[in-house]
Amino acid sequence: MSITARARPEILALRPYAAAVQVEDTIRLNANEAPWTSGADPHRRPLNRYPEIRPGRLRAALAERFGVPSRRLLVTRGSSEAIDMLIRAFCRAGVDSIVTVSPGFSMYRHYAAIQGAAVRSVASSPDADFIPDIDRLIDACDDNTRLVFLCSPNNPTGTSLTADFIRLVLEARRGRSAVVVDEAYIEFSARESVVGMLDDFDNLIVLRTLSKALAFAGARCGAVLARRPVVDMLDAIQAPYAMSTPVVERVEDALSERWLGEAANRVAEIVAERERVREALGCLPLVQRVWPSDANFLLVRFADVRSVMDATRQAGILLRYFGDDLADCVRISIGSPEENEALLSALGGLCQRSKD
Ligand SMILES: Cc1ncc(COP(=O)(O)O)c(C=O)c1O
């Protein structure tokens, strides 16, 4: 039995939207499209035509990149769309819940709230590098828990879960919950994707995005990697023509050997910068702790967070403050070497002033 048996019955009963058929070299009078191409349209596939309902070539290219057969991949508008669709598909409003880890990525909670799904949050400890206790995580699930969200590397802490940890959760929730492993930052980590576990676990769903390692956040493109029934179910609820022609063409280009090579070099640079900045921050008296990170950011605890936020803002640098269980902490994205230097210099200046 597929894990889709735990999805909302009305979603399972849905059939994909029946769009006008598209056949090359035909006179297309079946979709109310314009018969002319605008002079403002520079694309390979003319914009007067609807894009493919689902972008076939792009799907194949992403499947190759992420190491799955095409039938196990759905192209999405960033992984945000995937999170939204999964919660809508699996959770009955006012009845079902998701389980996730805190501190964690706030979008899971946001989309759960939109759908009216409850959120059960398992706190992780800074002293355990924010790795949650696996028994508490599994105990937080009950019969109405349809989705468990695990983010690895985790945003905003930067730490990763081991493959064994993820396998144990998949095993414990087999047949009961889908376990969504959000790998938005995996390219910055030495760990491998858990996508290889798809053969063993039909309740595994992996999310990938082009927003981070490929520098394509503005394009809004990501992918769900899952077993066929999950992909087919999401396919039935995703908007027809979700991926626009300009995005499809640009992403196809980004997936060429040349630009993938560039992205790999840039990722290596970011990782080297992350370690350099981590070390430099560790030498500043204002810094109390920098957690190890497998992502393109660092979580840092400061003695006086407010003065850090003020000083960096005055230097024209934006950092991310979350409050709540991270009240003394700031998340710092790794920028270019010059941007990172500007940050270190603003913090160095602040340390100097607090000494004077
Ligand atoms: C952990 C995680 N998942 C998913 C996303 C969403 O990314 P996108 O919708 O750009 O693919 C983000 C964005 O910051 C993220 O940090």
Q: Is the pLDDT confidence value at 352 over 90?
A: no
Structure-token match 């991926």, residue found: 243
Question: What DSSP character marks residue 336?
Answer: -
Q: How far apart are CA 97 and CA 99, in angstroms?
A: 7
Res. 152 pLDDT band, cuts 50 70 90: very high
What does the pLDDT read at residue 306? 95
Same topology, domains 3-17+53-255 and 259-355? Answer is no
Residue in 70, 79, 68, 67 with CA at minimum distance from that of residue 208: 79
Nearest ligand 1 atom, CA 217? 10
**Which residue ranges make up each domain of the chain?**
3-17+53-255, 259-355
The CATH number that domain 3-17+53-255 falls under is: 3.40.640.10
Residue 351 pLDDT greater than 90, yes or no = no
Minimal-distance CA residue to ligand 1 atom 16: 155
Comparing 229 with 1, the larger pLDDT belongs to 229
pLDDT at residue 356, as a whole number: 73
| Residues contacting ligand 1 via CB (< 6 Å) | 78-80, 105, 151, 155, 182, 184, 209, 211, 217, 222
Mean pLDDT across the chain, nearest whole number?
A: 97
Taking the centre of ligand 1 as the mean of its atom positions, its distance from the CA of residue 349, in whole angstroms, is 33
Neighbouring residues of 26: CB distance < 8 A, sequence distance ≥ 6 = none
pLDDT of residue 142: 97
pLDDT at 1 exceeding the cut of 90:
no
Q: What is residue 181's predicted lDDT score, i.e. its pLDDT?
A: 98
d(CA 220, CA 197): 26
In the beta sheet, which residues pair with residue 331?
A: 299, 320
Residue range 99-125, pLDDT digits in tens: 999 999 999 999 999 999 999 999 999
Ligand 1: which atom is nearest the Cα of residue 77? 9
User: How much is the pLDDT for 282?
Assistant: 96
The structure tokens listed for 62 are: 């992403």
pLDDT of the residue at 207: 98
The pLDDT tens digits for 248-257 are: 999 999 999 9
H or E element: which one contains 155?
A: none
Q: Which residue shows structure tokens 């990782």?
A: 271
Please list the residues that pair with 100 across neighbouring strands.
121
**Probe residue for ligand 1, chosen from 106, 111, 182, 334 as the CB with the greatest number of ligand atoms within 8 Å:** 182
Six-digit token pair at 205? 């769903």
Length of the chain equals 356
* Measured distance CA(191)–CA(193) in Å, rounded: 7
How would you classify residue 25: left for phi > 0, otherwise alpha for psi between -120 and 50, otherwise beta?
left
Identify which of 79, 87, 100, 216 to mutate to test ligand 1's pocket (most ligand atoms within 8 A of the CB). Answer: 79
pLDDT at 355 over 80: no
Of 119, 122, 113, 115, nearest in space to 91 by CA: 115
d(CA 211, ligand 1 centre) in Å? 7
Give residue 311's pLDDT: 96
Closest CA to 45 of 248, 239, 221: 248
Q: What is the pLDDT of residues 158-198, one digit of tens each?
A: 999 999 999 999 999 999 999 999 999 999 999 999 999 99
| pLDDT score, position 257 | 95
Give the DSSP letter of residue 217. G
Q: Is 219 exposed, middle or buried (0-12, 13-18, 19+ CB in 10 A)?
A: buried
Superfamily of chain region 259-355: Aspartate Aminotransferase, domain 1 (3.90.1150.10)
pLDDT (0 to 100) of residue 39: 94
Largest CA distance in the chain: 78
Q: Quick one: residue 241, left, alpha or beta (phi over 0 = left, psi -120 to 50 = alpha)?
A: left
Q: pLDDT tens across 33-89, in order?
A: 999 999 999 999 999 999 999 999 999 999 999 999 999 999 999 999 999 999 999
